[in-house]
Amino acid sequence: MARCLVFVVFQIYCLISTVGLPLPLDPAELLQLGGDVGGGRLSVHPADLREASGDFGGFTRAEPLAVYHPRGAGDVAALVRAAYSRGGGLRVSARGHGHSISGQAQVPGGVVVDMSHGWRADDAKHAAARALPVYSPALGGHYVDVWGGELWIDVLNWTLAHGGLAPRSWTDYLYLSVGGTLSNAGISGQAFHHGPQISNVYELDLVTGKGETVTCSATTNPDLFFGALGGLGQFGIITRARIALEPAPRKVRWIRALYSNFTEFTADQERLIGQHGGRRFDYVEGFVVAAEGLINNWRSSFFSPQNPVKLSSLKQHTGVLYCLEITKNYDESTAATVDQEVDALLGDLNFLPGTVFTTDLPYVDFLDRVHKAELKLRGKGMWEVPHPWLNLFVPASRIADFDRAVFHGILGSRTSGGPILIYPMNKHKWDPRSSVVTPDEEVFYLVAFLRSALPGGAQTLEELARQNRQILDFCAQAGIGAKQYLPNHKSQPDWEAHFGPARWARFASLKAQFDPRAMLATGQGIFRSSPADSAPPLRLSDS
């Protein structure tokens, strides 16, 4: 069986590998039909090129040949068809709102498709044509169709305004594009219950690497549907997604509790994600913080003057602390019982006495909490800085080893510079047919090092990058079985190891089928572009 898999992978690799670079393309060739092509706008303006050359990571830059601003899915398809007609000489990358970390949406010498302009929340003409939430008897719930480049915050505001509905699963930060998070997974503290965002989408429209527009779901073109979910943009550009909705709660009881004992901290987290029915919290996360830096932690805005942190009980604790972060949703009908429910749930936990802190706020304010922190950081000039983030899925059986080697070893007490998140998820909430790679255990943890290289900060970009490499090296040498989330691997063998033989064979097969010239999302570095044969002149009007 293994020998057959190797042979299949080798055949596929031969189909999509290359021995050369794409043929050079003169910008004049792109613009020969004028500024407006295929209904969209193709730009070589320096400001557009500069914007598309970078991303949130802030340490990788690559200038494209042009930036394409589509006005809809048809424009995206026209561009990709034109690129495909050149025989693979032009690479194309979709860019949502530029929040990738390591140049995943960049395409040097190619065309970046700016998906953020396919629909605009402030455009009255397009707003009038937006799809309203729909109730489906067959699905037993509501859904809404949205543009792939739309921000999740705009989806939320739209569905709340039209039926008091909201998506079920979230990311911590809402100013991310729908297509971007669905190409990765989309996770937050609700994932233990609802699964990631990719487990809460019913249907997709994609423009494949051949320029074909394909509608897919679990029953229609399922290989493409599940391949694209978590597929890192390799098989097509998501232009429409059908998102599952639920009635939105009105209020949130937001709770934090501190731990000094890691075993008790993770035991409580795993107990909470195993609870079912109404007697459970709705969101479970956590983060790591140095005891002496608790007040200065960037998330300390949670603790208002009306809800101060009392550190008297922590004076004997030094080094690393762990903060459990949980919420309970409620509305008018359940407000009278929320105190009793929360007290009962907290009674089973083993946090440090006297370290429970709570606040109540509207549901939307809780979901948008990171954006409020963003505004503060922007005001201090601390947002547009390099972000050498590292995100890992760590199997629960090895999380204690990870704690000892990383939090108490590699990092020591150096946990400042941004949050370090840690929280568990249930694997059965993830569809195994998607392209996302997770550890081979039912419970696994996200450990996210979301640190920033601040000017004059305690640690430079080089130091943070070196720590990231030390963490990855430890995981490999100790056989932790961790997998990167938002993966960034440097060679095709590394990508093959990331997926494993069977999943890699499937992934490569889908690539050969839906993007045979490996033109899409080349910034991921998974596949190299195919040989540029005699390419005809580019004609974006070809269809």
Q: Which two tokens stand for residue 90?
A: 């032009």
Q: What secondary structure does DSSP assign to 369-414, as a single string?
A: HHHHHHHHHHHTT-SSS----EEEEEEGGGHHHHIIIIIIIISTT-
Give the CA radius of gyration of the chain: 24
The pair phi, psi for residue 143, each rounded to 5°, is -145, 170
Q: Which two tokens stand for residue 423?
A: 């929280």
- For 180, other C-beta atoms within 10 Å of its C-beta total 26
Catalytic residue among 285, 368, 403, 496: 285
Q: Which two tokens stand for residue 196?
A: 């990631």
**Structural contact between residues 22 and 535, judged by C-beta atoms closer than 8 angstroms:** no
- Which residues have C-beta within 8 Å of that of residue 109, sequence separation ≥ 6? 22, 24, 25, 64, 65, 91
Q: Which two tokens stand for residue 241?
A: 């997604």
The amino acid at 135: Y
Beta pairing, strands 390-395 & 443-449: antiparallel
In angstroms, the first-to-last Cα distance of the chain is: 43
**Structural contact between residues 190 and 248, judged by C-beta atoms closer than 8 angstroms:** no
Is there a catalytic annotation at residue 99? Answer: yes
Query: Among 164, 356, 141, which residue's Cα sits nearest to residue 249?
Result: 164
Q: How far apart are CA 200 and CA 169, in angstroms?
A: 7
Is there a catalytic annotation at residue 387? Answer: no
Catalytic residue among 69, 99, 142, 193: 99
The pair phi, psi for residue 439, each rounded to 5°, is -60, 160
Judged on CB neighbours under 10 Å (0-12, 13-18, 19+), 307 is exposed
**Structural contact between residues 113 and 83, judged by C-beta atoms closer than 8 angstroms:** no
- For 109, other C-beta atoms within 10 Å of its C-beta total 18
Query: Where are the alpha helices (H) located in 187-335, listed in sequence order?
Result: 191-194, 222-228, 262-273
**Structural contact between residues 429 and 444, judged by C-beta atoms closer than 8 angstroms:** no
Q: How far apart are CA 514 and CA 228, in angstroms?
A: 10
- For 313, other C-beta atoms within 10 Å of its C-beta total 12
Is there a catalytic annotation at residue 276? Answer: no
**Which residue numbers are catalytic?**
99, 172, 285
